[in-house]
Chain A
Amino acid sequence: MNFNLLLQLLVNGIIIGTLYGVVAMCFVLIYKSTRVVNFAQGEFLLIGAWVCWALLVKFQLPFWLGFPVTLVFMLIFGILLQVVVLKPLIGEPIISVIMVTIGLSMFFQSLMSWIFGGFAQPFPRVFASNSVDILGMQIQPAYLMSLCISVVIMVGFYFFFKHSRMGLAMRATAFNQQVAQSLGISVKQVFATAWAISALVSAMAGVVVGMVNGVSSALSFFGIKVFPVVILGGLDSIVGAIVGGLIIGVLENLAEFFDAQWLHIGNMYTIAPFYALVLILMIKPYGLFGQKDIERI
């Protein structure tokens, strides 16, 4: 048994897993406050990555300027999306809203490949070195950046939900929209905030993935990839999203390890997390951290 390889794969899993966790967190944020399953999450990553790419390459902005501008753009984009498309749907069956996000995903995917073309484009070089050594594992510096930003975002989320007025309003809305509204909380504003934050954080993840793999329309696949992560952690738990991300990340790499060393089945890297997902759900039907619905008749 090759312990060195195992260790390297574990480190890799944790680092990739954090990124999954961040995207999953965006997903949970929208679900928690609006009950909408956002199928266009991957497109948020895509748009963020392309916008940042355009700012850096076409407008020649330096990264420290281009990146924040991208985030501001996505903030506005999220709000606009809510106002134009999703606001008219408040009160409609939730499944229609979900379908609308599918429509949005089709729309933006074609729009992006129309504007930027179908080719993968390399991201301008931001970090001087190509790889960083962590416990013997060589990783791209962009992942290290994402790790740091993720931690900052998580801490930020914690304080936002725990101590800010808006955070409290969002939690209240998540708990019960009608009651929240009757208490004077502007539900529309809460929804807009949720979409805006989600778009912004996804854009960050998109930029990181773009830096590593190049920007291409395939980025949007990330949106579907995080579904198991979200569910594993529990749909309405932000901590769960992070833990779920880590578990899936590590699981993928462990599966690759056992597959390559002994099993030789092939493709366990992508499939094993799904088997694990079904198993975990059978044992804990609300994910690891999800809230069990207590229903009263």
Chain B
Amino acid sequence: MRTGLISTTVALAILGLASLAPAADTIPVGHLACYTGPTSDVGVPYGNGVADALNYINAQGGINGKKISFETVDYGYKAPEAVATYKKWMSADAKPVAIQGWGTADTEALVKFVAQDQVPYISASYSGHLTDPAGKGSHAKAPAPYNFFYGPSYSDACRGLVQWAMDDWKTKGNKAKPKFVHMGDNHPYPNAPKEACGAYATELGFDVLNPIVYSLKPADAKAQCLSLQESGANYAYLGNTSGSNISLLKSCSTVGVKTQFLSNIWGWDENSIKATEGAGDGLAWVVGAPPWQSTDAEGMKTLMAISKMSDSGGQTYRSLHYIRGVCGVMFMRDAMLSADKQGGITGPNIKHAMEQMKDYVPTGMKGVCTPSTWTGEDHRGTTKVSVYTSAFNGGKFTMKPLATVEVPRRADWIGW
């Protein structure tokens, strides 16, 4: 029996590894998602958004009649598995012309490879250094010519938040120098904007305190909250992801901290509002697109049609991450459409088409996706930061915009 089991598995495996032949006349696109890894809480809605949008494009007739064939692979946030999947795609007969990626792990591991193979890589890793296609910025590490993302970079988002905080401080009639503190784990993701943001905060006139470290793994954080209280910070930037922010805010509300919290794009969402049960009320955070059904703009109608791809009833609530996933795909679609007119849908052509976009909103997405601009030297899609705040209201939570901050597009901030 055991041999039978083994041989069946082996046979299945060979079968699986051997065949990956998409139909002719399709546009192959890769989709790396994190459905099971440590980032799955936000990876699932984002991945769903990407998959729905791709299916929607096909349902609408594809790219000038050519359907997109895509395969969704869950890589569990493990870089070597992401690379393996990428190699599998690139060694298939139909190589993907573009890839919808996910987070820091896969994006950073593939920067070099996608540049070599000339495959545009649109992901949800908003790391500042990905905005530097030529590698010429003052903090350049290596060029990332084929990497794109939709929305402000982590650094710009944080800059936007401090800029908002300064305005907030002044409108409240305070004269003293406000105190700002960066909070987050000693880990690549929370630290990504630390320096850039701190420098800008100092420039704006903040007193930047020593950073406070709290774990990315949700755990009791009362000790850190007491430190925060002791430090007397007026504004605290939370660099971690939503799961650990939930614990932190709950701990801080127990201890009675009065600091104004700021959070980045992955640090706060509808689910965290519900999970904190009011402990996070008043927090200001960065949003990449307006919340589900909050406007009746043209884009929201398209979005609802896209949502029906996996939810025919149209009842499911779609989170902010889902919407950002959709926007990333829609920019790619329009780039493909214009690439098709300018010599065919290939990696370099798609990249070129993306870099022609100027204050561009994908067709049908007005009012949802932020107008974005990419150029050959600057991959900062947008530096406009929408700052929102939320309230729990006993379960009927609300999210409302506080301000839209225009962060200056300084040349020396490329890639930082």
Contacts and interface: CB of A to CB of B under 8 A. Distances in A.
Direct contact, A vs B (beta carbon within 8 Å):
yes
Interface of A: 2, 5, 8-9, 12-13, 16, 110, 113, 117-122, 125, 130-131, 138-140, 212-214, 216-219, 221-222, 225, 252-253, 256-257, 260, 264, 266-270
Given A130-B253, A130-B254, A269 B223 contact: yes
Contacts of A131: 254-256
Interface string B11-50: 0000000000000000000000000100011011000000
B275 A119 contact: yes
A99 B163 CA distance: 51
A260 B232 CA distance: 12
A264 B210 contact: yes
A286 to B, nearest CB: 28
Interface string B197-218: 0000000000000111111011
Contacts of B213: 266-270
B302 interface: no
B254 A140 contact: yes
Contact of A256 (B217, B227, B277): B227
A225 B210 CA distance: 26
A248 to B, nearest CB: 13
Interface centre among A213, A222, A264 (most CB of B within 10 A): A213
Nearest 7 pairs of A and B residues by beta carbon: A260-B227, A118-B40, A213-B247, A118-B41, A256-B223, A267-B213, A266-B213
Given A120-B246, A122-B276, A122-B277, 8 more contacts: A131-B254, A138-B256, A214-B246, A216-B243, A218-B244, A219-B218, A260-B231, A267-B213
A213 B218 contact: yes
A138 B255 contact: yes
B226 A213 contact: no
B60 interface: no
B297 interface: no
Contact of B250 (A125, A212, A225): A212
A117 B215 CA distance: 22
A119 B41 contact: yes
Contacts of B212: 260, 266
B224 interface: yes
A117 B36 CA distance: 10
A121 B275 contact: yes
Given A113-B40, A118-B41, A267 B186 contact: yes
B274 interface: yes
Contacts, number: 107
A58 to B, nearest CB: 16
Interface residues of B, number: 40
B222 interface: yes
A205 to B, nearest CB: 12
Contacts of A9: 223, 226
Contacts of A252: 223
A9 B214 CA distance: 15
A99 B247 CA distance: 31
Contacts of B255: 131, 138
Interface centre among B210, B222, B231, B243 (most CB of A within 10 A): B222
Interface string B251-280: 001111000000000000001101111000
B190 to A, nearest CB: 11
19 contacts: A16-B222, A110-B36, A118-B44, A130-B253, A138-B254, A139-B254, A214-B275, A216-B41, A217-B40, A218-B217, A219-B218, A221-B217, A222-B219, A256-B227, A260-B231, A264-B210, A269-B223, A269-B224, A270-B215
Binding site of B, secondary structure by majority: helix, strand, loop or mixed?
A: helix
B218 A218 contact: yes
A219 B220 CA distance: 11
Contact of B226 (A8, A140, A212, A225): A8
A9 B229 CA distance: 12
Contacts of A130: 253-254
A219 B44 CA distance: 19
Contacts of A110: 36
A267 B215 CA distance: 8
Interface centre among B36, B210, B218, B224 (most CB of A within 10 A): B218
B274 A5 contact: no
Contact of B36 (A113, A212, A225): A113
B383 interface: no
A103 B1 CA distance: 22
Interface centre among A117, A139, A216, A217 (most CB of B within 10 A): A216
Contacts of B243: 120, 216, 218
B296 interface: no
B22 to A, nearest CB: 29
Contacts of A119: 41, 271, 275
A216 B274 contact: no
B230 interface: yes
A216 B276 CA distance: 13
A121 B246 CA distance: 10
Contacts of B254: 130-131, 138-140
A5 B222 CA distance: 11
B268 to A, nearest CB: 12
Nearest to A110: B36
A253 B253 CA distance: 18
A122 B218 CA distance: 13
A86 B220 CA distance: 33
B242 interface: yes
Interface centre among A8, A222, A225, A256 (most CB of B within 10 A): A256
A214 B36 CA distance: 19
Given A120-B271, A138-B255, A252-B223, A5 B210 contact: no
A235 B250 CA distance: 33
Nearest to A143: B220
B224 A256 contact: yes
Contacts of A12: 222-223, 226
Contacts of B220: 16, 212-213
A202 B261 CA distance: 34
Contacts of A269: 213-215, 223-224
Contacts of A217: 40
Nearest to B319: A119
A214 B243 CA distance: 9
Nearest to B219: A213
Given A120-B218, A120-B272, A139-B254, A5 B246 contact: no
